[in-house]
Amino acid sequence: MKKLLIHSNNTSFNNTELFPLAEQFVFDVDFDKDVDFYINENLTDGGLKLKLEKCDIVFIKVSLSKNYLEYLGLRLAYHIRLTKSLGAKAYMPIVLIAEESFQYLGLTHPEPSILFTKGIYLIKELLDDYQKALKWFADGRIKPLDDFSLFVNSIFINPPANYQSHHSIANEWALVRYFSMLESDDTNTSYVSLQNKIYDLDYLKTLHFKHIEAKANRQKFNSKKHTINAILKGIEGKKIGIIDDEINKGWLEFYGYILNKSKATAMPFNNFQKDETKVELIKKIEQWLLEIFKLVDPIDIFIIDLRLHDDDFSEQDFQNLSGIQIIKFLKKYNPGIQVVVSTASNKVWNYQKCLDLGVKYFSVKESPETYNTRSETIASFSHFSNQLSNAVKDVFLAEIFRKIEDLKKNNIFSKITLEKDKKSANLIIEKNGLLDQIFNLLRLDNSDEAIIHQCLLIAFQILENYCELGMVGNFGSDNSSGNRLSSGSIWAKDESGPKHIFINQPNQKISTWFELVNGRFPFQKEDSNETPVSFNVFESMRLISSYKSGLDISSLVKMITILYFRDNIPKNDVNQIMALRYYRSNVAAHLTGKVKTNYRINANDISFFIDVFTRLFK
């Protein structure tokens, strides 16, 4: 019979008549190590592993220290059962040696569940008991554990006491779990550094981790089905800010690796100090953000954890969480900045509160309490990936906000003298004016067609208001010819005075610098009437038929006049405005049925207008 005795020189069984020295292991915790680490080390590549591999039954003294109530023998028994590298030896019969009964140990140990599982036996410090145990093992009455799955589900292990809540466990669990499902990438230095960081995580050596890992590993790993793709779509070239206090526990390497694989860059706040107060931490992060805002190429997307400071774990008021304070700071500075809240909390009401702050994207870190299967892990990572990709799509909002704010501060409207024009200009740039309305609508939901249509209507309202300003041009109508324009002139930007663009002449003629070109836009239905789709510009003023020129009182003509001839907007851009104007009139404002149903405009078209406004108003 191959047997082993584990003790701390506190048993009579260490007599060599019972256990020769080769069948003994003296448990002596190195005081510079945690007990779990000491046990883990000995069971994975230490002397205890070698001895266990040679035996079929192990006797463990319940007390393995001078301080009996620590019951370290029970802790060791859990470790033996849950250490994967022991293979089948992890299931061998464990005979505990104690003067206490099962019931007494159960009453006085905070984690007694292993006592009531198969393969665990208890004897007293009596020669007779020892001899009976050997006999019972020999005749098969003492048996190994036969159902590991049942065992794993029958035991309960408390998380390490310092883990503030399940959040901290989820942070490390999710990291390990995601990593375990990444395709091996040993030649990638970011991957290797992530791997090293994970192997060094203290939590992996704890009994709690071993238990939840054993629970999760009930499902076999299928490399075809259960591999996470580290490349996130649509984030190439982006700089992504990361504010997460778990950054030093492997998340920096994790984000670093997947962002690097996705050709994006991780920009972490990496100055968490243990002794600082929450107020100090928040102030420090805000300072860091202010520095980032000054960059020529600022960061417009952040992954933020809600709990960044120890105090957050006892915080009752959601609004006071440090992550929320940071989000408020960001959103106040630029509501277009995108935030992905990465949290281990799955409380729905917290999401609602984040939505109120303008946060649309959430990623819940996988936690052992909420996830069990590998498919769920894939879903969890995939959700994170989608949320980040979607947030990146919204990053243009930050740029739009910057442009609008800049336009509000620096524009040509200060030169307006006419009261009527002042009102028109104010309508565009004042707080909650037309520009703000566009931004707020886009922020609400820029994938919604109705919202984009509303933005388009506002954009044309702004253009029309602008073209009517006396400071940019002047359009006169000829009463004798009904609603035909008699002239259109612009005020040159260099203040060199007015310049005529077209003037009505007698006999239905018009002198003009341009004429409209009729045709059909590609998105128009075949059977719809032709419409102005572009314009021809002449080298000098030409006298042409007024009727054929198409130059009437329409705002289209005014726009071409002002935008092309005064503000030097390139012809292609003016053509695009003409196309959007047709769409506006036949889809957004009136559903005339002249536009093909599969044609849609999107947020890029609205961004285009903001760029045009920047060129016009500055």
Partner 1 sequence: MKIAIIEDRIARLDQYTDFELKKCKSVSIITSLDFDNLLVSLKNNDTKPLDQYECIASHRSALSNDIRDTLKEYCRIKRKPLIFFSGGITSSVLKDLDFPFLHINSKEFYAENLKMFIEACEESNTVNLLVLQFGKKWKLSLLLNLRNNIAVALNKKALKLQFPDSEIDDSELIKRVRDLQINSAIKADLVNEKTKVIFSADDLTPVSYDHVQDIKYVLDRVINEMA
Chain contacts with partner 1 (rule: CB under 8 A):
10-13, 15-18, 29, 31-32, 34-36, 63, 65-70, 72, 75, 98-100, 104, 107-108, 124-127, 160-162, 202, 206-208, 274-278, 309-311, 313-314
- Residue 328 CB, shortest distance to partner 1, in Å, is 21
Work out how close the CB of 43 gets to partner 1 at its nearest, in angstroms, rounded to a whole number: 15
- The interaxial angle of helices 166-180 and 207-216, nearest 10 deg, is 50
Provide the minimum distance between the beta carbon of 316 and partner 1 in the complex, in angstroms, as a whole number: 13
Between the CA of residue 175 and those of 167, 251, 406, 602, what are the distances in Å? Answer: 12, 7, 41, 37
Residue 136: exposed, middle, or buried by beta-carbon count in 10 A (0-12, 13-18, 19+)?
middle
CA distances to 234, 240, 523 from 259, in Å: 11, 8, 38
> For residue 502, what are the β-bridge partners?
488, 512
Q: Which is nearer to partner 1, 89 or 278 (CB)?
A: 278
Nearest distance from C-beta of residue 16 to partner 1, angstroms: 7
Q: How far is the CB of 65 from partner 1 (least distance, A)?
A: 6
Residue 284 or 500: which CB sits closer to partner 1?
284
Q: Specify the residue, 37 or 333, whose C-beta has the smaller distance to partner 1.
A: 37
Q: State the minimum distance, in angstroms, from the CB of residue 127 to partner 1.
A: 5
CB of 272 or CB of 318, closer to partner 1: 272
Nearest to 612 by CA among 565, 563, 562: 563
Residue 22: CB minimum distance to partner 1, A: 17
* Closer by beta carbon to partner 1, 13 or else 255: 13
Residue 202 CB partners (closer than 8 Å, separation 6+): 34, 37
CA 106 to chain centre: 45
- For the bound state, the minimum distance from the C-beta of residue 311 to partner 1, rounded and expressed in Å, comes to 6
* Residues 355 and 156: beta-carbon distance below 8 Å: no
Task: Indicate the DSSP class of residue 493.
Answer: T
Q: Which residue, 205 or 581, is less far from partner 1 as judged by CB?
A: 205
Distance CA 97, CA 11 (A): 9
Q: Which is nearer to partner 1, 22 or 418 (CB)?
A: 22
Q: Which is nearer to partner 1, 52 or 105 (CB)?
A: 105
What's 547-600 look like in SS3?
Answer: HHHCCCCCHHHHHHHHHHHHCCCCHHHHHHHHHHHHHHHHHHCCCCCCECCCCC
Strand positions, DSSP E, 437-552: 473-477, 485-491, 498-505, 509-519, 531-545
